[in-house]
Amino acid sequence: MPERTVLITGASGEIGQALIEALSEDHQYRIISLDLKPLPGKLEGKSTHITGNLLDKGLIEQLDKEYSFNQIFHLAAVLSTTAEHNPYQAHKINTCITIDMLEMAVRQSQRGGKPVKFIFPSSIAVYGLPDLETKIDLPPLTENQWTEPKTMYGCSKLYCEKVGTYYSEGYQQLAEEIPVRLDFRAIRFPGIVSAFTVPSGGTSDFGPEMIHAAAQGKHYECFVREDVRIPFMVMPDAVRSLQMLANAPREGLKQRVYNVTSFSFSAADFAAFTKQGFPQAEISFKPDPPRQAIVDSWPADVDDSAARSDWGWEALYDGERACQEYLLKNIKAHYS
């Protein structure tokens, strides 16, 4: 019998699909998944899926009535490039929905007399560096440095980090009796690369797009300069980090927001690895100035030592292993 009921929003997205796969191997979870879109057929039977729009408040009320969640992975969001095309709509999706979800989680925590764990994927987009010189000279950034986001996506992620922390530590602080609150935990992800799915609407997408295009024999025109460098990790590490943080004992967590990372790659590094696996790959570089500026404002690397010391985080795939053992092999099999 499953012991824990878990909700995954944004479940049909890249991380959502991989998280359902991982959690469904552990039979202690009853998984409720939700997305605007249905799940792909390969995930059938692994969760109870609800197709619906979280902007429809009735849907959150219905979830609240029907289920008592122990953990919520609130992944639903629009990524940075999409958000820049319609910032107001992105704000509604990335922040208004999050606050409605936090409200539901805190109500459920109070009803159950126990904090619901609210796991939130944040991003390196919360950082904002003023210029390229600053970026090049900086050591890996800790969680509290240069949080000056330049995009609506970054602003909304930073706000949700703060408001999630508030719901855990300040919510109803003036009440006569401090209520049970929720247990908010956030991971700041670098660019994520999956062998099985391609992201859509992100600005770190040049890495995964390049390698997936090569596997399909397609020319790829990269929208950033060869030298631009940001941190990345592969999907198995991203999903492991979510599970590790969700399962970490509360006493050991000295903060609510943690950086995680694995390897720092330039676009040229991605091209070199892609060519190792696909020697015929055709890759050209034609920087798109506005998207280039967004990537230039993100750090070349982040410091994840707090996650390492507080909950034992360690990426299993460095750049070499990510490419050789995970990406190239699986992408080839995926498209063959």
Alpha-carbon distance values, 26 to 6, 14, 144 (Å):
12, 20, 35
CB 105 within 8 A of CB 69: yes
Q: Of 115 and 154, which CB lies nearer to ligand SER in the complex structure?
A: 154
Among residues 17, 47, 123, 241, which is the contact residue for ligand SER, using CB under 6 A? 123
Q: Which stretch binds ligand SER (CB under 6 A): 36-44, 47-55, 199-207, 245-253?
A: 199-207
Give the x/- contact pattern for ligand SER in 144-163, rule: CB under 6 A: ---------x----------
Among residues 128, 149, 191, 231, which is the contact residue for ligand SER, using CB under 6 A? 191
Report, in Å, the least distance between residue 80 CB and ligand SER.
Answer: 3
CB 119 within 8 A of CB 72: yes
Among residues 9, 17, 47, 80, which is the contact residue for ligand SER, using CB under 6 A? 80
Residue nearest to ligand SER (CB): 202
Report, in Å, the least distance between residue 16 CB and ligand SER.
Answer: 14
Phi, psi of 153 (to 5 degrees): -60, -50
Told to check if 189 binds ligand SER by CB under 6 A, we report yes
CA distance 177 to 179: 6
Report, in Å, the least distance between residue 149 CB and ligand SER.
Answer: 11
CB 272 within 8 A of CB 199: no
Across the strands, what pairs with 233?
192
Across the strands, what pairs with 185?
119
Report, in Å, the least distance between residue 279 CB and ligand SER.
Answer: 28
Told to check if 79 binds ligand SER by CB under 6 A, we report yes
Q: Of 71 and 123, which CB lies nearer to ligand SER in the complex structure?
A: 123
Told to check if 125 binds ligand SER by CB under 6 A, we report yes
Told to check if 202 binds ligand SER by CB under 6 A, we report yes
CA distance 182 to 166: 10
Told to check if 204 binds ligand SER by CB under 6 A, we report yes
**Secondary-structure breakdown of the chain: helix, strand, coil percentages, each rounded to the nearest 5:** 45, 20, 35
CB atoms within 10 A of CB 175: 8
7: three-class secondary structure by DSSP: strand
DSSP class of residue 185? Answer: E
Residues at the interface with ligand SER (CB under 6 A)? 79-80, 123-125, 153, 189, 191, 202-204
